[in-house]
Chains A and B, each alone.
Chain A
């Protein structure tokens, strides 16, 4: 042991340095965010509570193709379709078990119509399990709550933009008839 090291040990230089660090941090402003009073806005593209998108007419965008449910890694999307009045396909029930969802966002990527989205909303704790079982009505309600107004529209466009809007295609290309109709409008 050199004399310098010996002196450092005897006079606790390391400990004194540590004490200096803690004393300095005593006067630095705390980094605590007082959560319920001060809320941190979600980062862009945050994957929060699900919502089912509505089109301009206020109708459900979902056509009941079932791609989201097939793609879902935790298999928590249940879709049931029935035959409508003019023999078209009508989404009868669209249900998400949010407690099983892992918020990967694959359902959003899988959807060809941009019908399922994830909102910025993350404060939905509840003491009943039932509240986390999202039915079609609840999901549509979420759309009105969290995607209403210009902010919601921008969020939807920037992060959950439907693939169908990028998907221009050729006139003679095989398509879902409904998509073709929309493109013509």
Chain B
């Protein structure tokens, strides 16, 4: 087999095919695992918020309602696919795909444990920003193409909100980039090992705060869920969507939350970095597994924070949203950059 393949495409080509197969397997694993996590994120959210509101949450489908995500998925899959008569059909079809693909593509640069990342590119963070902005296109296009005032208003709100908060989020991560000296997420995680507790959240407390607030706004979650404000806009930009197209938006939103949580865990909370006394005393494989769990615990803690905030805070007014973004978060993030730069110059050897 190998000889034949070598005969056709040469030894280097064979190596390339092996690499492509490995990458495809990695992609399949990551997408499958991520979508399963997303499915159970919805279940977990309903449980947490239910109990915070002194309710039970899903209980009926399977033991403790554990099959609820699958029941929802099957229901959405078999629902009638309604397209508004005056919708801009090509864009209407395209918008959820853009949104979902942008969310899933972000998964490719996230290192889940030491050495496991689909695309270990050196502009990882920049790529994540690019993808989250691309997701906004899906939202804006869905709002535009639905030919509905609610969807349109939702899309417009989302566009302005994501543009405003993207700046704050990008600036908040500049501090992390300066400390790590790299945009590659693996390097950022490794750079955190020299810091107290192995996290950037302590030296970058301002940046972390700005990032958390901006992450909530980026993923259209409460208290910044203006684009899908139920009380004013029915459901916002996906009002006219039904069936599986709606499911794509839904999955995209939750994948976005997962990615924001992963960025928070990787850039501020130390990612999969375990203390040295653990990594030195256990076998390499076990250290990798422990690192993965350590990373997932952080991701889920951040997801829980998302739900916790949702159960606690009401929605901000639109002008308040803009005021927080432009008058509070961006100046704070800029101040953080200046502070980080000054500290890095003055106390070079220590930090």
Distance (whole angstroms) from the CB of B23 to the closest CB of chain A = 41
Tell me how far the C-beta of B311 lies from the nearest C-beta in chain A, rounded to whole angstroms. 5
Contacts between chains A and B (CB distance < 8 A), count = 35
0/1 interface trace, chain A 122-151, chain B, CB 8 Å (1 if under):
000000000000000000000000000000
Given A19-B308, A22-B308, A23-B308, A30-B313 contact (CB < 8 Å) = no
A22 touches B56 (CB 8 A): no
Query: Contact flags (1/0) for A4-31 with B, using CB distance below 8 Å?
Result: 0000000000010011011101111011
Contact pattern, B 308-343, Cβ under 8 Å of A = 1, otherwise 0:
110111000000000000000000000000000000
Of residues 53 to 101 in B, which have CB atoms within 8 Å of A's CB atoms?
53-56, 59
Q: Does A34 contact B (CB under 8 A)?
A: yes
Q: Which residue, of A19, A21, A22, A31, has the highest number of chain B Cβ atoms within 10 A?
A: A22
A26→B55 contact, CB < 8 A: no
- Closest approach, in angstroms, between the C-beta of A45 and any C-beta of chain B? 29
Q: Answer yes or no: A3 CB below 8 A from chain B CBs.
A: no
Q: Does A32 contact B (CB under 8 A)?
A: yes
Most buried by A among B59, B308, B309, B312: B312
Q: A18 near B59 (CB under 8 angstroms)? A: no
The residue in chain A whose Cβ has the minimal distance to the Cβ of B305 is: A19
Bound form: Cα–Cα A19–B59 in Å:
25
Residues of A within 8 A of B59 (CB): 34
Interface of A is mostly: helix
Q: How far is the CA of A31 from the CA of B308 in the complex (A)?
A: 20
Task: Tell me the minimal C-beta distance from B73 to chain A in angstroms.
Answer: 24
Measured in the bound complex, the distance between the Cα atoms of B309 and A28 in whole Å is: 18
Partner of B55, one of A15, A18, A30: A30
Q: Min CB distance, B68 to chain A, in Å?
A: 15
Pick the residue among B51, B53, B54, B313 that contacts A18 (CB under 8 A).
Answer: B313
Residues of B within 8 A of A32 (CB): 54-56
Q: How far is the CA of A144 from the CA of B46 in the complex (A)?
A: 45
In the complex, the answer to whether A25 meets B52 with C-beta atoms within 8 Å is yes
In chain A, residues 143-166, which have Cβ atoms closer than 8 Å to a Cβ of chain B?
Answer: none
What's the least CB distance linking B116 to chain A, in Å?
A: 33
Q: How far is B48's CA from A93's CA once the two chains are assembled, in angstroms?
A: 56
Chain B: how many interface residues by the 8 Å CB criterion?
Answer: 14
* Mask of B290-312 contacts with A, CB within 8 angstroms, 1/0: 00000000000000000011011
A19-B308, A34-B59 given; A25·B313 CB < 8 A: no
Q: Is A31 a contact partner of B54 (Cβ separation < 8 A)?
A: yes
* Chain B contacts for A25, CB-based, 8 A: 51-54
C-alpha gap A19/B304 in the complex (Å): 12
What residues on B are CB-neighbors of A23 within 8 Å?
52, 308
| Given A15-B312, A15-B313, A26:B52 Cβ within 8 A | yes
CA gap between A34 and B56 in the complex, in Å = 9
Tell me, rounded to whole Å, the shortest Cβ–Cβ distance linking A30 to chain B. Answer: 5
A22 to B314, CA, bound (A): 13
Residue of A nearest to B51 (CB): A26
Q: Which residues of B contact A22 (CB under 8 A)?
A: 52, 308, 311-312
The listed residue (A19, A28, A31, A34) touching B312 by CB distance below 8 A is: A19
Which residues in A have their C-beta under 8 angstroms from that of B308? 19, 22-23
Residues of A within 8 A of B309 (CB): 19
Q: Are A21 and B48 closer than 8 Å at their CB atoms?
A: no
Contacts of A18 in B (CB 8 A): 312-313
Give the CA-CA distance A14 to B216 in the complex, in Å.
Answer: 19
Asked whether B50 is an interface residue with its Cβ less than 8 Å from the other chain, the reply is yes
* 5 pairs from A and B in contact (CB 8 Å cutoff): A19-B312, A22-B308, A25-B51, A25-B54, A30-B51
Q: Which residues of B contact A (CB under 8 A)?
A: 48, 50-56, 59, 308-309, 311-313
Top 4 nearest A-B pairs by Cβ distance? A32-B56, A18-B312, A22-B312, A22-B52
Having A22-B308, A22-B311, one finds 14 other A-B pairs with CB under 8 Å, namely: A15-B313, A18-B313, A19-B308, A19-B309, A22-B52, A22-B312, A25-B53, A26-B52, A30-B56, A31-B54, A32-B54, A32-B55, A32-B56, A34-B59
